[in-house]
Amino acid sequence: MSTSPNPQPNQRQVSFYEAVGGEPTFARLVAGFYEQVREDDVIGPLYPNQDWEGAEQRLKWFLAQYWGGPQTFSANRGHPRLRMRHVNYSIGLPEAERWLELMRNSLDRIDEETMPPAYRAAMWDHMERVAQMLINRAP
């Protein structure tokens, strides 16, 4: 998503990542999510207790990279391969819905000035698609 619909020649495109505040915004979104996950009874048990900081860092890297920020995830972890990376976790509709609920709570803490409605909607659409894609357990 570009912030200028018709850029002039030599005008640099601004990435989604830059438009919403870059690293501080993504760090806040992911930290707010993980604050909830640590105590959550549905998806909390899916996360390895000994690697909370690592999980948080990887999600931040992934989201930043996806939205046009640094390629840190790929540089450190290779191709995202989300389905493959989550195959060992039992993810059904309840887990996907809880993931979305906690992510929505965190996203709602970011003000509209930092993340205007069009950007928020684009991010939320992505979150919903990813949550559905990662379901690997039948009801």
The pLDDT tens digits of the residues spanning 21-67 come to 999 999 999 999 999 999 999 999 998 888 899 999 999 999 999 99
Position 61 in a domain = yes
Distance, C-alpha 51 to centroid of its chain: 18
CATH at residue 126: 1.10.490.10
Query: Has residue 38 been placed in a domain?
Result: yes
- Asked whether residue 9 is assigned to any structural domain, the reply reads no
Global pTM value: 0.86
- 66 assigned to some structural domain: yes
Q: Are 61 and 80 in contact (CB under 8 A)?
A: no
Taken as a whole, the chain contains a residue count of 139
Q: What is the domain range of residue 94?
A: 28-133
In a domain, 6, yes or no: no
User: CA-CA distances (angstroms) from residue 128 to 7, 53, 100, 107?
Assistant: 30, 24, 7, 13
Whether residue 109 is predicted with pLDDT greater than 70 in this model: the reply is yes
Can you say how many angstroms the Cα of residue 58 is from the centroid of all Cα atoms in its chain?
10
Residue 94 within a domain: yes
- Position 75 in a domain: yes
Q: Are 115 and 25 in contact (CB under 8 A)?
A: yes
Count of domains forming the chain: 1
- For residue 35, is it within any domain? yes
Cα–Cα distance for residue pair 39/99, rounded to 1 Å: 13
Record the tokens describing residue 47, joined without a space. Answer: 């996360």
Q: What is the pLDDT of residue 78?
A: 82
- 23 with 72: CB under 8 angstroms? no
